[in-house]
């Protein structure tokens, strides 16, 4: 071994091996280690030159030793079988295993060291001494595994994508065609690969496509690269359909590739056309409603007021000339004229909700309830209890007054007990307020719950309770205009509770002036 070391010192100084960052080993023909550098000793856990004299099989796990011996014998009989980049497992002194790759390089003339990673040179083992370069490749294997996993994931995404994904080269030739592209365009993958992508375009886009690619490659002027746009696609059966196309560019070596993502937007276009048609119809209906409101307010109310005034004059100045039957007819005439006037007012109010907008302000619902009760003036046998601290909301003041006034009016009208009780309450939720107006009136059967919110619907004969059937329909429209909902819980002969919600917005503002137990009246 001394002769070997002296030979190495003459041919290639030992400091080259000692200073190498990789683990360096030299073995003789029998596989015995005759030299090792510090990197090798650290890698295998044999510090202090303790590798020299050991058989190289000592550094191989028992499971792989037999295979190694067979390979070694093959290498001695056929030297060219030895190669670089062998991926193996190494055994450390503490018994742990490490993943390594080994490059085996024979020495020329017995002492020439060939570069460990240079696999282009011829390798021989004429003198029987073989140096080895060992690398810890666990990190490389992890990186390769991660790359393979990422590639598999990407391929799975492309294959299962809902949208068509097509790649083409610089000449417009289709290089990949995923299953979604097959479904959208009607071509099988093998029918599309190798053909010009212009086959998927109707005229005049087809004829202009190649010129566009050429112009882009020369000038890099971007018309659709990186920009989504709507255009037309052409199916195999010759039908055209609207698509949304996004194109990106990538470089593969010295060549450019283009990836197109195609979304079939047929359903979206149909929905947009349907929406536009409905909007047009709604605008027409709104115009008709505006004209109707104008006709009602001017052409109907004027003669109705004249009829009412004439009836009032007859009742005041000519009633003594009428008998009992005439006076009853006159009373009914006046009553029905007033009902018609109220009905027209209700229709006008209903038509203005959502069409005529007021400026939204901070509305104190405590004051709104007080004003509503003041206008309605409930009789003394009806008690009204209002929950303290109703919130301040950002809304149209007139709409909030209409909302509470109609609900309270409805409760007052249908009270049939000697002592009436109306309660107004509210609860605070995360996204909205929930209000309630309850009474101990005649109640409503469940089968009528939906009907009562429809326009002109009343459940009690008009000669018994004066009602136009507009109030609750108006309330429902206002609540839904603000994004809330309304419903009823009722039991016949016991009473009813109307619930409605209004969304919260802005700061949490509440009134603390009204104390519990104090009625609003």
CB atoms within 10 A of CB 99: 16
Using the 8-state DSSP alphabet, how is residue 300 labeled? I
pLDDT band at residue 59 under the 50/70/90 scheme: confident
**What number of CA atoms fall less than 13 Å from residue 297's CA on the CB side?**
14
pLDDT band at 123 (very low <50, low <70, confident <90, very high): very low
Q: How confident is the model at residue 235 (pLDDT cuts 50, 70, 90)?
A: very high
**Lowest-confidence segment of 169-173, 377-381, 455-459 by average pLDDT:** 455-459
- 121 DSSP 8-state letter: S
Distance CA 462, CA 335 (A): 11
Instruction: With a cut of 90, say whether residue 185 has pLDDT above it.
Output: yes
pLDDT score for 21: 64
d(CA 205, CA 225) in angstroms, rounded, equals: 16
Choice between 225 and 367, residue whose per-residue pLDDT is larger: 367
Candidate from 87-101, 172-186, 286-300 with smallest mean pLDDT:
286-300
Query: How much is the pTM?
Result: 0.43
115, pLDDT greater than 60: no
The pLDDT tens digits for 197-234 are: 989 998 887 777 766 776 666 665 555 565 678 889 99
β-pairing, 392-395 vs 432-439, is unpaired
Query: 48 falls in which pLDDT band (50, 70, 90)?
Result: confident
Higher per-residue pLDDT: 139 or 278? 278
Q: Which of 466, 474, 475, 521 is nearest to 498 (CA)?
A: 475
Task: Give CA separation, 276 vs 72, 242, 287, 433, in Å.
Answer: 81, 17, 16, 34
Residue 94, pLDDT score: 86
| Residue 335 vs residues 7, 71, 294, 321, 342: alpha-carbon distances, Å | 131, 116, 24, 20, 11
CATH class of 2-142: alpha beta
Q: What is the residue whose two structure tokens read 């990949």?
A: 176
Q: Which CATH class is domain 161-264?
A: alpha beta
Any idea where the domains of the chain sit in the sequence?
A: 2-142, 161-264, 269-352, 361-503
pLDDT at 236 over 90: yes
User: 341-361 burial, b for 16+ CB within 10 Å, e for fewer?
Assistant: bebbebbbbbbbbeeeeeeee
Q: What's the gap between Cα 105 and its chain centre? A: 59
**Those residues with Cβ within 8 angstroms of residue 95's Cβ, 6 or more apart along the chain or in another chain:** none
**Helix ranges, 296-431 (H):** 301-317, 324-352, 365-376, 397-413
Q: What is the pLDDT of residues 238-286, one digit of tens each?
A: 999 999 988 888 777 777 888 889 999 999 999 999 999 998 888 887 7
What pLDDT, in 10s, does the model give residues 424-470? 999 999 899 999 999 998 888 888 888 888 766 665 545 444 566 67
Q: Which residues of 447-473 are buried (b: 16+ CB within 10 A; e: fewer)?
A: eeeeebbeeeebeeeeeeeebbbbbbb
pLDDT tens across 390-429, in order? 999 999 888 898 899 889 988 888 888 888 999 999 999 9
Looking at per-residue confidence, does 206 or 513 come out higher? 206
If one compares 310 and 140, the residue with the highest pLDDT of the two is 310
Q: What is the pLDDT of residue 230?
A: 87
Residue 20's alpha-carbon distances to 48, 134, 268, in angstroms, are: 17, 11, 66
pLDDT at 128: 46
CA atoms within 13 A on the CB side of 173: 8
In this predicted structure, the answer to whether residue 134 has a pLDDT above a threshold of 80 is no
Select 361-503's CATH number: 3.20.140.10, 3.40.50.620, 2.40.160.20, 3.30.565.10.
3.30.565.10
Peptide bond into 515 cis (omega under 30): no
Would you place residue 105 in the very low, low, confident or very high pLDDT band (cuts 50, 70, 90)?
low
Does 2-142 match 361-503 in CATH topology? no
- pLDDT given for residue 217 in this prediction: 66
pLDDT at 85: 57
Question: What DSSP designation does 447 have?
Answer: G
């Amino acid at each position: 071994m001394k002769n070997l070391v002296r030979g190495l010192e003459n041919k290639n100084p030992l400091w080259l091996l000692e200073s190498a960052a990789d683990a360096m080993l030299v073995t003789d023909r029998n596989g015995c280690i005759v030299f090792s550098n510090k990197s090798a000793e650290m890698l295998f856990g044999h510090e202090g030159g303790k590798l020299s004299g050991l058989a190289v099989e000592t550094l191989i796990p028992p499971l792989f030793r037999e295979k190694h011996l067979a390979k070694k014998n093959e290498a001695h009989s056929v030297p060219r079988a030895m190669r670089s980049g062998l991926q193996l497992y190494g055994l450390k002194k503490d018994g742990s295993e490490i993943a390594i790759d080994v490059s085996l390089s024979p020495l020329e003339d017995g002492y020439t060291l060939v570069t460990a990673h240079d696999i282009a040179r011829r390798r021989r083992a004429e003198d029987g001494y073989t140096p080895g370069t060992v690398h810890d490749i666990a990190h490389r294997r992890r990186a390769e595994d991660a790359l393979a996993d990422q590639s598999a994931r990407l391929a799975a995404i492309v294959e299962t994508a809902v949208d068509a994904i097509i790649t083409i080269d610089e000449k417009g030739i289709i290089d990949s065609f995923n299953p979604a592209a097959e479904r959208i365009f009607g071509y099988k993958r093998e029918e599309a690969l190798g053909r010009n992508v212009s086959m998927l375009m109707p005229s005049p886009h087809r004829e202009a496509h190649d010129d566009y690619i050429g112009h882009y490659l020369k000038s890099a002027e971007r018309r659709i690269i990186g920009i989504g746009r709507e255009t037309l696609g052409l199916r195999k059966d010759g039908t055209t359909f609207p698509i949304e196309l996004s194109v990106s560019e990538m470089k593969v070596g010295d060549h450019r590739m283009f990836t197109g993502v195609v979304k079939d937007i047929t359903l979206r276009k149909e929905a947009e056309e349907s929406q536009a048609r409905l909007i047009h119809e709604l605008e027409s209906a709104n115009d008709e409603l505006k004209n109707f409101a104008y006709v009602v307010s001017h052409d109907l109310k004027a003669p109705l007021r004249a009829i009412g005034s004439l009836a009032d004059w007859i009742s005041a100045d000519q009633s003594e000339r009428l008998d009992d039957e005439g006076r009853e007819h006159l009373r009914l005439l006046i009553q029905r004229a007033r009902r018609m006037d109220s009905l027209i007012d209700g229709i006008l109010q209903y038509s203005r909700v959502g069409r005529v907008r007021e400026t939204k302000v901070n509305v104190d619902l405590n004051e709104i309830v007080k004003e509503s009760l003041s206008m309605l003036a409930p009789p003394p046998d009806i008690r009204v209890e209002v929950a303290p601290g109703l919130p301040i909301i950002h809304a149209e003041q007139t709409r909030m007054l209409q909302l509470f006034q109609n609900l309270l009016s409805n409760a007052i009208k249908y009270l049939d007990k000697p002592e009436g009780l109306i309660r107004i309450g509210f609860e605070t939720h995360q996204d909205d307020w929930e209000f309630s107006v309850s009474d101990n009136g005649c109640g409503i059967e469940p089968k009528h719950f939906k009907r009562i919110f429809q326009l002109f619907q009343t459940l009690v004969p008009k000669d018994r309770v004066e009602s136009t059937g507009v109030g609750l329909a108006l309330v429902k429209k206002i609540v839904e205009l603000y994004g809330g909902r309304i419903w009823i819980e009722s039991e016949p002969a016991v009473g009813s509770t109307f619930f409605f919600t209004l969304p919260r917005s802005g700061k949490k503002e509440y009134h603390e002036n009204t104390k519990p137990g104090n009625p609003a009246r």
